[in-house]
Amino acid sequence: MNTDPPRLGHWIGGKPVSDDAAPHGEVFDPATGAVTKHVAFARAGTVDEAVRTAREAWTSTWRRSTLTQRSRVLFAFRELVVAHRDELARLIVSEHGKVLDDATGEVQRGIEVVEFACGIPHLQKGAFSEQVSTGIDSYSLRQPLGVVAGITPFNFPAMVPMWMFPLAIACGNAFVLKPSEKDPSASLRIAELWAEAGLPDGVFTVVNGGREAVDALLAHPDVAAVSFVGSTPVARHVFTTATEHGKRVQALGGAKNHMVVLPDADLGLAADAAVSAGYGSAGERCMAISAVVAVGDVGDRLVPLIEERIAGLQVGPGLDPRAEMGPLVTREHRDRVAGYLDIAVEDGARVVVDGRTMSAPAGHEDGFWLGPCLIDDVRPGMRVHAEEIFGPVLSVLRVDSYDAAIEVVNDLPYGNGTAVFTSDGGAARRFQSEIEVGMVGINVPIPVPMAYYPFGGWKDSLFGDTHVHGTDAVHFYTRGKVVTSRWSDRAGLRLQFPTNE
């Protein structure tokens, strides 16, 4: 009996494709540390085959599809994702480690983008101007690009791809997805659902792999555009490489999201928000709050409230209904995140809650566990503040004034998300105007926009000028064309009653 973990390949041409000759990576269950699957790392030749197949599918079928045909497939796909929401969530838990409620919420946020894309007949409308000159009309069209690619991170293996491919496909493109090699199963299952929904073979493709697969997509002459979400160094590489090859690019990078708490804030609400936004999904979110900026004497009152709430958090396997926070995605990532506690102490900060002391749940001693961590007396310039940690580590900075808080946030190179907690509407309006960040929450700790608004940050959190989903995505995945027309009427006089003849 073969007890080796199953091997995952790719999805090309509407069917699974094994790639046993290629190198393989390991997929772990973060709660146990066990290797549960192996995933193929595509060579450049496999990527070329995938793009060629996608190009043929786009040329032969999908570019000629009507808006009604596309929307019908999207509606069918939406129903299938809803029906399999729990299955997809459990796949995410098994490979990412987040708790089931969080994984289910991730799938739901992806569904909302699919629902928005179902309105493509309206979203892709052009404009018409009659009689711009004598007998001449002008009108605009938005047409698909061809084959487009998405390169997505481990932390949202369903939601982030669904930020991209529903609108790309709705606009008439073929889509090649390169998901994270750490948790690829959700993408392969989604490919099966697309096929069941009636999407023509080859219009949606999944290629698994590492840097070789990524670079092959960035350089491929038949890939017209690339969407990326990940760390800032890789986002910069994706943007630079793809644009050098003439591609349209939106590359979303890293973040260091602050929550500014003013003296008039509801501190109970702020403490709840800091814990939820700091430790949800074990802090492995690009919109997680990783730094609280306490203004005036707020820190003396707020830190004990946060510490009190941390004490009540349940950390455990994602399928345990009592668990509120799961393990980190890999052992290496856990060790890297935990190392920031020693760095913080060396820099003069104070560890209030040390998550390294947590006991692993019974039967899960080899999992990648790190409990919630709270660090106080952090100052700007310390590594724990300046760098993206991407784990359950919440830092508290104390400043004397509103202006000092704004300076703390604006001085960092990141500009993804931020929040302010206050009871003063004037202060909130000033904050939203002066802060150099792309997504702002007012008494909302994780201001992720709904599907019909665009998602994206500023500065080193975004390379390119177009954000994901919303109408920005419709523009990103299409190109404009303007037609000017004149028709001569040489039929002469016809005085009889008009008929179809």
Name the residues annotated as catalytic: 286
The Cα-based distances of 192 to 7, 113, 195, 202 in angstroms read: 17, 19, 5, 12
Distance CA 469, CA 349 (A): 39
Distance CA 16, CA 188 (A): 8
Distance CA 42, CA 46 (A): 6
Query: What SS3 class is residue 352?
Result: strand
Structural contact between residues 368 and 333, judged by C-beta atoms closer than 8 angstroms:
yes
Tokens of 315: 């950390």
Is residue 146 left, alpha or beta, with left meaning phi > 0 and alpha meaning psi from -120 to 50?
Answer: left
The Cα-based distances of 160 to 55, 142, 486 in angstroms read: 23, 24, 45
Which 3-state string (H, E, C) describes 321-349? CCCCECCCCCHHHHHHHHHHHHHHHHCCC
**Backbone angles phi and psi of 202, in degrees to 5:** 95, -15
The one-letter amino acid code at 48 reads D
Distance CA 412, CA 248 (A): 27
**Backbone angles phi and psi of 89, in degrees to 5:** -60, -40
**Backbone angles phi and psi of 310, in degrees to 5:** -60, -40
Which 3-state string (H, E, C) describes 87-153? HHHHHHHHHHCCCHHHHHHHHHHHHHHHHHHCCHHHHCCCCEEEEEECCEEEEEEEEECCEEEEECC
Tokens of 190: 């989604």
Q: Given strand 128-133, what is the order of strands in its sheet?
A: 128-133, 136-144, 478-486
Provide the angle, in degrees to the nearest 10, between the axes of the packed helices 211-219 and 44-60: 40
- What are the start-end ranges of the E strands in 145-247? 147-151, 174-178, 204-206, 223-229
